[in-house]
Amino acid sequence: IPVEGLQSQTAPIIELPQFRVIANRETNAIKPIPVDLILDVGNSRTCGILIEDHGQSGSGMQHNYVLKLRDLSAPEHVYTEPFESRVEFSQAFFGKDHCSVRSGRHDAFQWPTIARIGGEAGRLAARRKGSEGSTGLSSPKRYLWDEKYYGQGWRFNGSYVQDSNPLATAAPFANLIDERGEALHTIEDEMDRIPVFTPRYSRSSLMTFMLAEVLTQAISQINSPEQRIRQGHAGIPRQLRHIILTVPPGMPMAERCVLDDRMRQAVGLVWKALRWHNGENDPYEDEQEDHSQTNIKIPLPKIRVEWDEAS
């Protein structure tokens, strides 16, 4: 409470900070700095490394840093250690939506994914309320082959909701997947591209949700002001160039193909949710066609599932 003697008749004034908007397009004179994401997805733990390529002005492999995960339900917490390979359905809220609605963009502060991972997922699972349906899964990598409908259904974790656990469907992600959790743009028959109504996602599709959240966190980290100032060239935006998934030596080729497909779906879903790709086709297919490349606003990262995690 201000001291009465120090009060004045002048209304308090808060000086607004300077806002700086940095474009992130291929037509810019200064090209974005490419970043490679190396991800090791294990049954129990997952970790990642981000490597920036500064070209002639860089110092080789010195521009690298650990993938960080920000806790969206407690944003003051940031995790830098290898995180638990766990998925928990939970919506991310950033205050009251009516403020962004008045601006003309109702989804201005909308997180593109619906699943939390790592330490946040573990904390939400420990505080779960209710017993209807399932709210998450541990070690989704173990269930890459299980593409059947999940009979119990999926619900959002209600640890911060007083009423109940709502169904695990929320825009924009739910508008891009079907009832089994498959990306709509991967379904050949357009008549079967029906958005999810009852979430019975297969346990294999939860790997897509996990990778999509990792990808979103990585995009947020590489373009954060803090990270750009640390790495230099703070005024130049960053773009993901490669996503490299390490795999164990004994992993069958068929299982690698499934993991590669899950990563491709995750990239496509995040790009569509962020409106970086227009249309209903597969972004990677549009990238190969000259007349469809205009649908892609941000270049897609190349995916590689071939490195041996032991090396």
Query: Would you say 165 and 135 are in contact if contact means Cβ atoms under 8 Å apart?
Result: yes
Q: What percent of the chain has pLDDT over 90?
A: 56
Residue 8 placed within a domain? no
pLDDT category of residue 1 using cuts at 50, 70 and 90: very low
Q: Provide the domain count of the chain.
A: 1
Query: Would you say 61 and 214 are in contact if contact means Cβ atoms under 8 Å apart?
Result: no
pLDDT category of residue 2 using cuts at 50, 70 and 90: low
Could you tell me the sign of the dihedral formed by the alpha carbons of 158, 89, 223, 100, in that order? negative
pLDDT at 86: 94
pLDDT of residue 123 exceeding 50: yes
DSSP summary character for residue 147? -
| pTM for the full predicted model | 0.88
Residue 19 placed within a domain? no
pLDDT of residue 63 exceeding 50: yes
Domain limits for position 213: 24-308
pLDDT of residue 22 exceeding 90: no
Which residues are registered as beta bridge partners of 50? 37, 65
> C-alpha angle with apex 109: 132 to 21, nearest 5 degrees?
155
Give me the mean pLDDT over the 210-225 stretch: 96
Q: What percent of the chain has pLDDT over 70?
A: 87
Residue 13 placed within a domain? no
Q: How far apart are the two ends of the chain, measured CA to CA in Å?
A: 60
The string of pLDDT tens digits covering residues 70-112 is 999 889 999 999 999 999 999 888 877 777 777 777 777 789 9
pLDDT category of residue 197 using cuts at 50, 70 and 90: very high
Q: How far apart are CA 13 and CA 119, in angstroms?
A: 40
pLDDT at 11: 66
Query: Would you say 112 and 101 are in contact if contact means Cβ atoms under 8 Å apart?
Result: no
Burial 62-90 (b: 16+ CB within 10 A, else e): ebebebbbebbbeeeeebeebbbbbbbbb
pLDDT of residue 61 exceeding 80: no
Q: What is the mean pLDDT of the chain?
A: 87
Query: Would you say 201 and 269 are in contact if contact means Cβ atoms under 8 Å apart?
Result: no
pLDDT category of residue 158 using cuts at 50, 70 and 90: confident
Q: Identify which of 2-6, 78-82, 164-168, 249-253 has the greatest average pLDDT.
A: 78-82
Residue 16 placed within a domain? no
pLDDT category of residue 58 using cuts at 50, 70 and 90: low
Q: Which residue has the higher pLDDT, 210 or 130?
A: 210
Q: Which residue has the higher pLDDT, 158 or 162?
A: 158
Specify the range with the lowest mean pLDDT, choosing from 106-115, 130-139, 295-304: 130-139
Give me the mean pLDDT over the 200-215 stretch: 97
Token code pair at residue 23: 């474009």
Q: Which residue has the higher pLDDT, 161 or 181?
A: 181
pLDDT of residue 247 exceeding 70: yes
Q: Cα 140 vs. chain centroid, distance in angstroms?
A: 16
